[in-house]
Structure 1
Amino acid sequence: MRARIYQPARTAMQSGTAKTRKWVLEFDPQEPKRIDPLMGYTSSGDMLSQVRLTFDTREEAVDYAEKHEIPYDIYAPKPRRPKLKAYADNFKFGRIGQWTH
């Protein structure tokens, strides 16, 4: 029953940083998922895979795991490097790409 502590990445549909500031504690799956032969549903008997705890800081998540004697791995997020862009760059003289209409 090992747990992962991480900060979730933003989804492909997000341009902002909503829901990426909290830390999440999730349990690793204990058994593989299986496919129901009749309906084709994917299921698992592992109830801990449904547990997802959120914390404001990494220290709170680590304290919770240590208090309940849960072994854990911490995955630190990669730092974001914002790309500074200006609308005027689309029309500058030395533009790399071809201008098309």
Structure 2
Amino acid sequence: MKFVLFTLLALIIAINANPVYRSCKCKAVSNTVHFTFHSWDISSCTFCSCKDAAMANCEQACKSAVESYASTGCGKTIKGSKVKYAWDAGSCSSGISSTEYTCA
């Protein structure tokens, strides 16, 4: 019986990521092939739901980070390059923006 419960728990974790620990990750990616220019770990929480601020605001926090990154020149990226933001809030949400930002 214990083996079945352990196997079931391992399967749930493997399929749905870790339901106990969630994190919000952000990337500035190229606008065409989505090559990563820079990435950030925005926030994380333990035992939180998708309604928790750390997860619910992941996309907006990522958007703000990439806007700032673009306005300050995108590091060593060629001036005028275009970037988009990509976020991943674990099993809560993820995606790539349609909005492009030009590196200053």
TM-score by length of 1: 0.28
Which one has a larger percent helix, Structure 1 or Structure 2? 2
- TM score, norm. by length of structure 2: 0.28
Higher strand share: 2
